A and B are shown apart, each in its own frame.
Chain A
Amino acid sequence: MSQPQDMMADMQDGTPTTVLAIPATRPRRRKPVWRRLLLSPSAIALIIIVLLAAFAGVIAPYGEAQINPVAALEPPSFAHLMGTDTFGRDIFSRVLYGGRLSLMIGCSAAAIGATIGVLVGMAAGYFGGRIDSIAMRIIDVLLAFPGTLLAIVIVAVLGPNLLNLVLAVGIASVPGYARLVRSLSLSIRESDYVTAARATGVRSWTIIFRHVFPNLRNSVIVYATLNIATAILNAAGLGFLGLGSKPPTAEWGLMVADGRETLEIAWWITAFPGLSILVTTLVIYSFGETLTAALDPRQSRQ
């Protein structure tokens, strides 16, 4: 490795037609990813939603569980932007308060599911053989139960509180991640750059985190953004069964369930929390799209 300059000079003298230089005027550096990400519409929308939930106490015109029997079942008006429920509670205020809990439950459950699922899936897919068989049989057992039922069992075993609820919903979403990640790892394992890394003596876990993970990251992000919405709904279902958040607490899924009986005369009780879930999901989903594009060096330079 002694004389790089001489070497290059030799090559260019010997074969003058072969200069490989690419015009040096080309922009070299990628723009900072995070700045462009934060200024994207979906990121701004997501920030607004998070701020609304975080400052619910300041923004909400009424208390979270403030009952007003006189104003029960009022349709949306200026006094009650989203109407009131059977107890006369302001739906708008409750949607704001509920956002805190739902976002927290959805994101933490998806994070738990993604972390465990990705690790298990990558190990199973990359190492194959016995590790794969054992991990996937366990996942198959989890998969054999409907997600909600599985979550019920876990909450029933661990005891009903918020932490266990998040844990249960998270574990119930592990099989989806594990299956997805395993199949992606299987194909990435066979790629030439993994062989090349193995051929230079890189350790297995280093390959998994440096080569396999970045190449399946985008799929996981897309799956996770959808999973957050599912997690919110699953948590709501558990709350409805008395295994999650208890009734006076505002929580989107619980509110959707509450409005069930009065759906024909008071659609707004169900509609607005439902709409919140829908909008939040869409925003998180499109933020996921923006994120995957920003993380891909091939797309980020456009």
Chain B
Amino acid sequence: MTTASSAPLLKVRNLSVYFRLEEGVLTAVDRISFDVFGGQILGLVGESGSGKSMSMLALARLIPQDIGIIAADELSFDGEPVLSMNTRQLKALRGPGIGFIFQNPLSSLNPLLTIGSQISESLRSHMGLSRKAAATRTIDLLARVGIPDPKQRVDDYPHQFSGGMRQRAMIAMAIACEPKLILADEPTTALDVTIQAQILELLVSIVEETGAGVIIVTHDLGVAANICDHVNVMYAGQIVESAPVDDLFYRPSMPYTWGLLDSIPRIDHAATDVLPFIGGRPPDPMDFGSACRFAPRCSYARPACIARMPNLSDRDGVAHLARCLGTESSGWLEVQS
């Protein structure tokens, strides 16, 4: 599926997001770096609060400016530096450049406006379409995302749509202006499994059709395994492992990833078995300290892990990076296969 062109669509180098609070500075995202190419699906996985959604919002500078600070050595979309964009450039970035699909399709749709008017909103402001042309295109979009009877449903309100249809409508909104990059923030979390499969299928077909790049945020490794080309695992604001999808699942090189993989329910295990879980809680984002952030919860941790923060270093796989002293070549851990 990797039909990557030479220049990355999105280039992120050491992107950080901070929040200035009364109690101090909270680090939500800590120096993450990655590239996204057209036609590529990048997964961002990790537990709640690991900074996944915040890094998504930061990519389009949607962090509230009064308290949030976005810093990066480089954050460029299609060669354009995002952090130095003015209001007009940002407006052109959001919509035609980057399309967003949000987690909760019910609260992401205005309950008082019809589905159609919410989709045509961006069409009219970005593509300068007339009311009529926008309405026609909106119906096409609804048909494209698989809403039955789109001519009728276009005038419905969000509460008249089922959960899956709302998420389809959200996707229609996101792809309305034919964005080059689609950011999907847990697009299937609020949906049941059958609908989830359909939505993912839809997303993949859109990528194949339009060649757009996708970043999909999820805490469901099954979703990541299904559709992603490359996966970044995030923990406590950092990327702790980054690998092509097969590599990540066959040779995970970080105890946190092991924990995530172990805590997936398996069909061949008895239902009465206790599902393995990762004990403890993530560190305080106000004060991460200088140790490995996963060390307090890691059953393989040694004193060296407390002494310093491991770097994101190469593993034997192609483009496989991990942040763990134990699985480095001089480490004490065997990489599980």
Complex CA distance for A203 and B87, rounded to whole angstroms: 9
- A302 part of interface (Cβ distance < 8 Å): no
A214 to chain B: which residues have CB within 8 Å?
110, 112-113
- The interface stretch among A42-50, A162-170, A192-200, A245-253 is A192-200
Contact B109–A193 (Cβ < 8 Å): yes
Question: What distance in Å separates the Cβ of B205 from its nearest Cβ neighbour in chain A?
Answer: 7
Question: What distance in Å separates the Cβ of B87 from its nearest Cβ neighbour in chain A?
Answer: 9
- A77 part of interface (Cβ distance < 8 Å): no
A192 to chain B: which residues have CB within 8 Å?
102, 104, 107-108
Complex CA distance for A5 and B149, rounded to whole angstroms: 11
Contact A195–B177 (Cβ < 8 Å): no
- B95 part of interface (Cβ distance < 8 Å): yes
Give A207's nearest chain B residue, CB to CB: B121
Contact B194–A195 (Cβ < 8 Å): no
Interface residues of B in 143-166 (CB under 8 A from A): 143-144, 146-149, 152, 155, 157, 159, 162, 164-165
- B135 part of interface (Cβ distance < 8 Å): no
In the complex where A8-B148, A17-B194, A195-B102 touch, is A202 in contact with B122 (Cβ < 8 A)?
yes
Q: Please tell me which one of the listed residues B65, B125, B140, B144 contacts residue A203 in the complex, with CB atoms under 8 A apart.
A: B125
Complex CA distance for A24 and B148, rounded to whole angstroms: 10
Interface centre among A14, A24, A192, A296 (most CB of B within 10 A): A192
A11 to chain B: which residues have CB within 8 Å?
146, 198, 201-202
Give B126's nearest chain A residue, CB to CB: A201
Q: Please tell me which one of the listed residues A2, A8, A17, A193 contacts residue B107 in the complex, with CB atoms under 8 A apart.
A: A193
- A265 part of interface (Cβ distance < 8 Å): no
Number of residues in B with C-beta < 8 Å to the partner? 57
Contact A201–B92 (Cβ < 8 Å): yes
Contact A196–B108 (Cβ < 8 Å): yes
Complex CA distance for A12 and B125, rounded to whole angstroms: 34
A2 to chain B: which residues have CB within 8 Å?
209
Question: What distance in Å separates the Cβ of A270 from its nearest Cβ neighbour in chain B?
Answer: 44
Interface residues of A in 115-162 (CB under 8 A from B): 128-129
Interface centre among B111, B126, B176 (most CB of A within 10 A): B111
B104 to chain A: which residues have CB within 8 Å?
192
Give B156's nearest chain A residue, CB to CB: A28
Complex CA distance for A211 and B117, rounded to whole angstroms: 11
Complex CA distance for A194 and B100, rounded to whole angstroms: 12
B90 to chain A: which residues have CB within 8 Å?
201
Q: Please tell me which one of the listed residues A24, A29, A201 contacts residue B149 in the complex, with CB atoms under 8 A apart.
A: A24
Give A2's nearest chain B residue, CB to CB: B209
Contact A18–B162 (Cβ < 8 Å): no
B65 to chain A: which residues have CB within 8 Å?
129
A63 to chain B: which residues have CB within 8 Å?
none
Give A297's nearest chain B residue, CB to CB: B157
Contact A196–B109 (Cβ < 8 Å): yes
Give A130's nearest chain B residue, CB to CB: B66
Interface centre among A4, A11, A129 (most CB of B within 10 A): A4
Given contacts A11-B146, A199-B100, 20 further A-B contacts (CB under 8 A): A1-B209, A4-B140, A4-B143, A7-B205, A11-B201, A11-B202, A15-B197, A19-B148, A22-B162, A191-B107, A193-B108, A193-B110, A195-B102, A196-B100, A199-B94, A200-B126, A200-B176, A201-B91, A203-B125, A298-B111
Residues of chain B at the chain A interface (Cβ within 8 Å): 57, 60, 62, 65-66, 90-96, 98-100, 102, 104, 107-113, 118, 121-122, 125-126, 140-141, 143-144, 146-149, 152, 155, 157, 159, 162, 164-165, 170, 173-174, 176-177, 194-195, 197-198, 201-202, 205, 209
